Amino acid sequence: MIGFIGVGVMGEPICRHIASKSGKEVRAYDIKPEPLERLKANKVKVAESVREVAEKSEIVFLSLPGAPQVKEVCVGRASLLIHQRPGTYIVDLGTTPVGLTRDLEARFSARGIHFMDAPVARTRAAAEEGKLSVMVGCRENHLPRVKPYLEMFAAEITRCGPPGAGQAMKIINNMILFQNVLAVAEALAVIRKLGLDPAKALETLSKGSADSFALRHHGMKAMVPNEFPEKAFSVEYALKDVSYALEIAKLAKIDLTGLKNAKAALEKAAAAGHTTEYFPVISKLV
């Protein structure tokens, strides 16, 4: 059986792909009933607890909001560490601090359980299409067992190195993205002040050296039409990932001034009441 814990914005479509393509029984757990009800259409069974998932699964996928939830599920009361069998796998698809990831891998390894970090990148639309990018940190001999399942929802799978390396690369990926989105937001502010057509301006920029994923996706699809929905990658989530990046910077003894600028923009958006909205909403505050 395959277990899945956390079926939110990204977890729900990922779980759906695995249930539809694996040929295995999939049992999912979440504190919110709505996505679990939707997943029943894909024959996903509802687990009553983390313990139930742990005791019955050969592989458990985690797609959780952040470090507190990962800690609780992995090493809290009635946790995976207590109830999961040796020889099984845990795959963390969320974004988790590197230090915590390495600590969890060591603790699970001591019990004969294989813990892998495999955070996903790209958008909710990419998750729906099964075209995510997965950045894996694990012992080299562990990837072959899990890779066929990753291929069910990802177009790109990269082993970045040993445990923690996948999380490091995902956090660095987001660090660059946040700064790019801020750059696009500032460019749009200038474009609008000059009375230029925002859509045409970004289309023009996409044909030159200013082109980027942030410009084409966050700029064209969110900032130009001023659409910043909830249940997307929110300002709150972005600030969480910024804090993880700053932890890495502290370890590396590097002053990330560009990231601090992005953090200030996100904090300004949060203070203005946009905490739960899609993070390119920072463009409203520029």
What is the DSSP code (8-state) at residue 42? G
Q: What pLDDT sits at residue 78? A: 87
Q: What pLDDT sits at residue 139? A: 96
In terms of CATH, what superfamily is 2-161?
NAD(P)-binding Rossmann-like Domain (3.40.50.720)
Average pLDDT over residues 125-151: 97
- Indicate the domain borders of the chain: 2-161, 169-285
Alpha carbon distance 126, 274 (integer Å): 24
Band the pLDDT of 227: cuts 50, 70, 90. Answer: very high
Alpha carbon distance 46, 39 (integer Å): 9
Neighbours of 226 (CB within 10 A): 11
Q: Which CATH number fits domain 169-285: 3.20.20.70, 3.20.20.80, 3.30.1330.80, 1.10.1040.10?
A: 1.10.1040.10
pLDDT digits (tens, 9 = 90+) for 67-125: 999 999 999 988 999 999 999 999 999 999 999 999 999 999 999 999 999 999 998 99
Instruction: Report whether pLDDT(231) > 90.
Output: no
Query: Long-range contacts: 151-158, Cβ < 8 Å, 24+?
Result: 152/17, 152/18, 152/21, 152/22, 153/13, 153/14, 153/17, 153/18, 153/120, 153/127, 154/120, 154/130, 155/126, 155/130, 155/131, 156/132, 157/133, 158/133, 158/134
Alpha carbon distance 88, 112 (integer Å): 8
Alpha carbon distance 33, 59 (integer Å): 22
Structure tokens at 73: 């599920």
